[in-house]
Structure 1
């Protein structure tokens, strides 16, 4: 049933991302919180790069769907698991109750994410990382040394030109600078 699939996706709203406790970070987020902003980042990057923004956003939106069944596994945990990740198998199981058109679209996007053979897939992966960089910068402002180590580690996985451009801007921008400019009507740059 379609509703089963949608209820299962809702589990991500209650699934806390697991890597942040390693940094003793108090500002935790759910997988759904992360996926939402990652999708917006992917859409923006794709538009900037002349790629398909809707497809990139869909890839970023779906990239953590298997975590509704697997839980969120940070990089240290994944190191001890057999590869390749069971991502496609989980997606296939999750989408089994959907009618063919919906099932086929989601499975095709999942395969595209796993294969990483399109610009949209690579942008979506960069968006996944850039959201994490932003979360680290927002959450570890009072611990600049730890913040820089995390950002440096995450930045190594950004692969697209547009991703590296936006990463540099993220690193140079105060996470709280957007709202005073909005209130005063100051135009950015």
Structure 2
């Protein structure tokens, strides 16, 4: 029976691949699933934890991976939606937890993230916002002028100086530099150029 419950859980997690992040509707460009968001958030969370040095990096990653799982049942409510819609997230958490052999752990993870009282939860929440800032910068670089208006609000949600410093670096970095910054002939020929030919070795035996 537990294995059937786990199978259902894995299918539920898969729903996040088909659940869109709804804020992009208001930004006017961009598309991202909750699963895509959660993956990059977890990667950011790991980096923050390692840079902080005095927290449980594994715990931060778990918080990031699970923080939006209730959206498989609730959908993603953006800041406009939340003005008018009251979602019962705790019920969604409790209903899923009741079916899982690690339900208490899952409930504790979501409770810790929401409360934001531990160092790990603060970094996970900052990772959540930094992922949004990265997305905003990507769309800003493609010409979305509204990203500049959204950015200050995302920064104000950050709780740690480390995250604020990273946000500034992100906003100052061209989002294509990681792959398009060398200006080499690769972008002309699509292959590495061989080294310049050396003169043939002398065969003079005299």
TM-score range, shorter chain: 0.7 to 0.9
Residue in 1 aligned with 2:165?
Answer: 165
Asked whether the equivalents of residues 74 and 89 of structure 2 are also in contact (C-alpha less than 8 Å), the reply is: no
Question: How far apart in 1 are the matches of 2:46 and 2:96?
Answer: 25
Task: Give 1:119 deviation, angstroms.
Answer: 0.9
Identify unmatched segments of 5+ residues in structure 1: 185-189
Question: How far apart in 2 are the matches of 1:64 and 1:43?
Answer: 17
Give 1 or 2: higher helix fraction. Answer: 1
Aligned ranges 1:1-189 → 2 under 5 Å: 1-25=5-29, 27-50=30-53, 51-82=55-86, 86-99=88-101, 102-143=102-143, 145-180=145-180
Task: Give 1:153 deviation, angstroms.
Answer: 1.9
Q: Quick check: which has more Rg, 1 or 2?
A: 2
Across the aligned residues of Structure 1 and Structure 2, the Cα RMSD in angstroms comes to: 1.8
Identify unmatched segments of 5+ residues in structure 2: 185-206
Q: Which protein has greater RCO, CA pairs closer than 8 Å, 6+ apart?
A: 1
Q: CA 1:97–1:171 in structure 2 vs 1: closer, same or farther (change >3 Å)?
A: same
Task: Give 1:81 deviation, angstroms.
Answer: 3.4
Asked whether the equivalents of residues 5 and 95 of structure 1 are also in contact (C-alpha less than 8 Å), the reply is: no
Question: How far apart in 2 are the matches of 1:183 and 1:6?
Answer: 44
Asked whether the equivalents of residues 43 and 61 of structure 2 are also in contact (C-alpha less than 8 Å), the reply is: yes
Task: Give 1:182 deviation, angstroms.
Answer: 8.1
Task: Give 1:161 deviation, angstroms.
Answer: 1.4
Asked whether the equivalents of residues 39 and 58 of structure 1 are also in contact (C-alpha less than 8 Å), the reply is: yes
Question: How far apart in 2 are the matches of 1:15 and 1:177?
Answer: 29
Q: TM-score, normalised by structure 2?
A: 0.81
Asked whether the equivalents of residues 137 and 175 of structure 2 are also in contact (C-alpha less than 8 Å), the reply is: yes
Asked whether the equivalents of residues 87 and 114 of structure 1 are also in contact (C-alpha less than 8 Å), the reply is: no
Question: How far apart in 2 are the matches of 1:98 and 1:182?
Answer: 49
Question: How far apart in 2 are the matches of 1:128 and 1:183?
Answer: 33
Q: TM-score, normalised by structure 1?
A: 0.88
Task: Give 1:180 deviation, angstroms.
Answer: 3.2
